[in-house]
Structure 1
């Protein structure tokens, strides 16, 4: 099974989701500023990284975890799904894939912080907002990851796309 967390930029909530999924972060307390800023790829990707699958690691069940920033292109995940179906129909791939959208967990401070930091390159305004936003949404991301793993284990579908609208 392959897990792919996706959202607009692929560098904030997706990176946190991958880190929680891989048990790189504690789930029993509020994260510190340092823990947030040290998450792999958190606030480090640029526009040239949009559309690239970023490998984060292998989880406890030996499943790879990836993220992707899809920008505003809502067709990225459906295109990836259809390409995967094509490979599966041809017998060239038997792996189950779970796409999980982290966008519904993004709080307003994180959206503004991402705009200032990644868009305008004004980190002294953007980074504190990103950290504040991360602290706000961590519990939702933890729940999203738990739900993603639960569905991954229980579904018989070869490809599952989770929009996670319940987190809005």
Structure 2
């Protein structure tokens, strides 16, 4: 199975989701520290040249691959990847289930502003503290989104390609 977490930039909530999925972040029952957030692979490290690239984060405990992608504002990226995957499955008898999971619903406003300052304007001294604050606000929501994504992935389903738009998971 392949999991692909996606959102606008592909460097904040997606990186946190991949880290939770891969159990690189432990103790999901508590708020993350600043150090934990800033040490997550790819968190606030990708730039405009990375949009549209599948970023491999690792293999989970079940042997499933975990990727992220920043899709910008394009609503076409995930459907295009779905169609490409279906084509490859049909033509090359590739039958691995792929789950696309949208992390955008977890992004708090403060994280959007922080991402704009840090990634967009390159003003890290303003952006990074806002990103950390936003990550602390949404870490529990991201964890629950990941747990739901994994449940959908392992559940019996006729579809080989699943797209989860997701809702905000509150408590």
Q: TM-score, normalised by structure 1?
A: 0.97
Which is worse superposed, 132-141 or 26-35? 26-35
> Partner of 1:93 in structure 2?
94
> Partner of 1:163 in structure 2?
165
> Partner of 2:6 in structure 1?
6
> Partner of 1:139 in structure 2?
140
Shift of 1:166: 4.1
> Partner of 1:19 in structure 2?
19
Shift of 1:167: 4.2
Q: How does 1:74-113 map to 2 (within 5 A)?
A: 74-113=75-114
What SS does the aligned partner of 1:165 have? coil
CA distance in 2, matches of 1:162, 1:23: 21
CA distance in 1, matches of 2:113, 2:74: 20
After superposition, the CA RMSD in angstroms is 1.1
CA distance in 2, matches of 1:7, 1:166: 14
Q: TM-score, normalised by structure 2?
A: 0.96
CA distance in 2, matches of 1:80, 1:19: 23
CA distance in 1, matches of 2:48, 2:127: 16
Shift of 1:15: 0.0
Whether contact under 8 Å (2:106, 2:168) holds in the other structure is no
CA distance in 1, matches of 2:169, 2:73: 19
What SS does the aligned partner of 2:57 have? strand
CA distance in 1, matches of 2:77, 2:160: 18
Gapped regions of structure 2 (runs ≥ 5): none
The question of 1:116 aligning with 2:152 is answered no
CA distance in 2, matches of 1:75, 1:56: 23
CA distance in 2, matches of 1:62, 1:56: 13
**Paired positions, count:** 168
What SS does the aligned partner of 1:132 have? helix
